[in-house]
Amino acid sequence: MAVLLTGGTGQTGLALARLLHAANYPLLITSRRGVAPEPYKAVKFEWADHSTFENPFKADAHIDRAYLVPPSDADPYEHMKPFIDLAVSKGVKRFVFVSASQAEKDSPIYGKVHEYLADIGVEYTILRPTWFIENLGTFDVHIIRGHDEFTSVTGKGRIPLVGVEDIAKAAFDALVAERSPNTDYILIGPELWSYDEVADLLAEVLGRKITHRQITNEEQIARFKFWMSEDHAIMLNGGEQRVAAGSEEALVGHPKAIVGKAKLRDYVEANKHLWIKA
């Protein structure tokens, strides 16, 4: 047995690698440059470059399960399907795919990958996390540190923000379980937060005023387009619009919900150095 981690140097990938390593499970990480932190072994892999798809299996012939983090693309299925097919032909029997809370099996984008895994007869688990707590220290860190604000179109919508470690634990459990669940789970945190409330917490911990500023859909799409495709920007904007309409708050009490332990205050207090002005 060996576990392949695509996106293995990302937030959830490295957290999962630590769990697997601590439990003495063999693992192989993929990254665009083919490098990973010690003590992990890595190979070069890029979703948009299908010539790299063979690399993991050349490096380790014992890979029989895979953790799939999708590319930041408006249609990840076009890249993920051929890799899944190749992986199955190389002996991979179990897949854990990180989707999104709003992505149902029959929905476009991530839902197409979910549906394919469910239909081809492999062992699978679909993890559908809500918004990450850690996005405040990655995606939003520069605007908070530099401008004392962050923006969204979420309005008063509340989110059961989930921690990366909790996502990794759910992935670990699915990968090493004796029997695969062959279903999807929604991953949420134990508390609901609006972004106005998040800003108030940041202000309290950092000791300066932090503002959550509501912007228009057009403004947000234009901002996102600085570092992603227009299609992907529109997709993310649509997700935030659904937050404003209550989509994420409605996940609390969902029959397929796994409720994590991570709390926003603990993360902010432990990482306040991230938002300290230079």
| Amino acid making up residue 155 | G
| Amino acid making up residue 16 | L
**Does residue 20 lie in a domain region?**
yes
What is the domain-level CATH number for residue 108?
Answer: 3.40.50.720
Q: What is the pLDDT of residues 146-174, one digit of tens each?
A: 999 999 999 999 999 999 999 999 999 99
At residue 75, the pLDDT reads 85
pTM: 0.96
Residue 127 and residue 185 in contact, taking contact as beta carbons nearer than 8 Å: yes
Please give the DSSP secondary-structure letter assigned to residue 255. Answer: T
Six-digit token string for 71: 């590319």
Q: Among candidates 156, 175, 164, which has minimal Cα distance to 266?
A: 164
Q: Among candidates 262, 87, 245, which has minimal Cα distance to 161?
A: 262
Residue 228 and residue 244 in contact, taking contact as beta carbons nearer than 8 Å: no
**Does residue 33 lie in a domain region?**
yes
**Does residue 102 lie in a domain region?**
yes
Report the C-alpha gap between 28 and 23 in whole angstroms. Answer: 14
Q: Find the domain containing 38 and state its range.
A: 2-130+162-186
Six-digit token string for 154: 């979420």
SS3 165: helix
**Does residue 266 lie in a domain region?**
no
The count of residues in the chain is 278
Six-digit token string for 170: 């759910």
**Does residue 121 lie in a domain region?**
yes
Six-digit token string for 42: 């890595």
Handedness of CA 128, 249, 213, 276 (dihedral sign): negative
Whether pLDDT at 227 is above 90: no
Greatest CA separation found in the chain? 56
At residue 158, the pLDDT reads 98
pLDDT confidence band for 214 (50 / 70 / 90): very high
**Does residue 84 lie in a domain region?**
yes
At residue 228, the pLDDT reads 85
Please tell me the total count of domains within the chain: 1
**Does residue 21 lie in a domain region?**
yes
- Extract the runs of DSSP E, i.e. beta strands, from 45-141: 63-68, 94-98, 123-129
43 has which bridge partners? 30
**Does residue 68 lie in a domain region?**
yes
Q: Which of 127-136, 198-207, 228-237 has the lowest mean pLDDT?
A: 228-237
Non-local CB neighbours of 128 within 8 Å, separated by 6+ positions: 99, 100, 101, 102, 103, 184, 185, 186, 187
